[in-house]
Amino acid sequence: MAKKTTEKKKTAKRSSDVAAAEKLAATAKKSIIKPDQDGEIDDVAAVKKLNDARDAIVDELRKSIVGMDQVIDEVLIAIFSRGHGLLEGVPGLAKTLLVSSIAKTLSLSFKRIQFTPDLMPSDITGSELLQDDPETRERRFMFSKGPIFSNIVLADEINRTPPKTQAALLEAMQEKMVSAGGEDFALEPPFFVLATQNPLEQEGTYALPEAQLDRFMFKINVNYPSEQEEIDIMRSVTGSGGGALQEVIGRQDILALQDLVTRVPVADHIFQYVAAFVRATRPGEENAPGFIKDFVSWGCGPRACLNLITGAKARAILHGRFNASLEDVQALALPVMRHRMGLNFAAQSEGVDSDHVIGRLLEEIPSDKALYESEAATA
């Protein structure tokens, strides 16, 4: 009897594996990025297809999301750059709906974790449970995976949980794996964490340290909708809605796009501009502007440079170009850098925030290609 039960379980497992393989094959058939006869991918043609797919994704999101164009763009750029995002906005701005809708249109698994003061690390990563082994019928500890094992994870109100639990999530974000019981469990790519926090409530919260904030590629501000957008929201929510969301691209397309981002060329003068721009945020630098020395305690580190370049590449692809431009870099300066610098008391007393500082830098740091080329020639 025990032998028959074991054989049934093995048969069921094989059936499950076959079903998973068939689903993966079906996704590959629907893929919009396909290699040619030699197994190569035409990068320029792939960029065109993915630009069309980006427009289709936005059109699908319009069924459930009103406005938030810039937020949608920044979230997509972070996903395709293999980064993570921190969303900051007051409650009720459809942050959760946005993330779940993006997961649906990208054919990715989605989990939401509500962070609370009593949340434990094992509630995120998973835990070992005493279970019956289906093959040996012996009782042993087996790892039960937690909600972190999803393609897109929404960490809702991350600043409401103690640092120990925050660290468990941030470690998984960095290492792309979870360690338990002496084993490492890889997180299936693509893996993207979008954390949210409420800027209004500070009581009973645990602010993320600067070193952990630096793990997030973007800090994305979600603002109130415009008057017309608010009217459109009322019509949409209280009416029949825009219909069910459709899947636009699949997991294989996203992985191909993430690889494609690394192959986007970047001109030398853009590297020089990014280095000059980021170094200008550091008050100890000799050439730092006066307002930086007046208002900034510490500036952005090298990770800001890396994220500006990678993000510029992804933004170029999403806009149908196979080359990163200064416009791409400047468009991402705020989400990349606003959480990577510390302002002093003088800035706080005068109502100066990091966005104001970055905005002034965008105006003062020269972006003339010829200037950087001449400096390189004389170096």
Residue 25 domain-assigned (yes or no) = no
Cβ atoms within 10 Å of 116's Cβ, excluding its own = 13
Same domain, 292 and 169: no
Residue 273 domain-assigned (yes or no) = yes
Residue 23 domain-assigned (yes or no) = no
Pairing outcome for strands 139-145 and 126-132: antiparallel
Written as six digits, the tokens of 60 are 């699908």
**Rounded distance between C-alpha atoms, residue 267 and residue 255, angstroms:** 25
Domain boundary among 189, 212, 244: 244
Domain boundary among 193, 214, 244: 244
Same domain, 224 and 307: no
Residue 327 domain-assigned (yes or no) = yes
Q: Which pLDDT score is estimated for 41?
A: 59
CB contact set of 173 (below 8 Å; sequence gap of 6+): 84, 193, 215
Q: Which pLDDT score is estimated for 137?
A: 76
Q: Which pLDDT score is estimated for 35?
A: 53
Same domain, 166 and 282: no
Same domain, 144 and 274: no
The number of distinct structural domains making up the chain is 2
**Rounded distance between C-alpha atoms, residue 39 and residue 56, angstroms:** 27
Q: What is the pLDDT along the chain (379 residues), one digit of tens a residue?
A: 444 444 444 444 444 444 444 444 444 344 555 555 444 557 777 788 778 888 888 888 888 888 888 999 999 999 999 999 999 988 888 888 888 899 999 989 999 999 989 999 888 888 877 777 777 777 777 778 889 999 999 999 888 888 888 888 888 888 888 887 777 888 889 999 999 988 776 666 788 888 788 889 999 999 998 899 889 888 888 877 667 888 888 888 888 888 989 999 999 999 999 999 999 999 988 888 999 999 999 999 999 999 999 999 999 999 989 899 999 999 999 999 999 999 999 998 999 999 999 999 999 888 776 565 555 555 5
Q: Which pLDDT score is estimated for 327?
A: 94
Residue 24 domain-assigned (yes or no) = no
Q: Is 247 helix (H, G, I), strand (E, B) or coil?
A: coil
Same domain, 271 and 193: no
Same domain, 226 and 110: yes
Domain boundary among 183, 215, 244: 244
Q: Which pLDDT score is estimated for 330?
A: 95
Same domain, 217 and 71: yes
Same domain, 268 and 239: no
Residue 329 structural domain: 264-378
Residue 252 domain-assigned (yes or no) = no
CB contact set of 142 (below 8 Å; sequence gap of 6+): 128, 129, 130, 131, 133
Residue 82 domain-assigned (yes or no) = yes
Same domain, 60 and 204: yes
Q: Looking at residue 167, which CATH number applies to its domain?
A: 3.40.50.300
Same domain, 236 and 88: yes
Same domain, 277 and 179: no
Same domain, 77 and 157: yes
**Rounded distance between C-alpha atoms, residue 122 and residue 168, angstroms:** 9
Nearest in space to 302 (alpha carbons), one of 340, 329, 334: 340
Q: What is the DSSP letter of 38?
A: T
**Cβ proximity of 31 and 253 under 8 Å:** yes
**Cβ proximity of 248 and 103 under 8 Å:** no
Q: Which pLDDT score is estimated for 374?
A: 56
Residue 49 domain-assigned (yes or no) = yes
Whole-prediction pTM: 0.83
CA dist list (Å): 70 to 107, 112, 236:
22, 23, 20
Q: Looking at residue 277, which CATH number applies to its domain?
A: 1.10.8.80
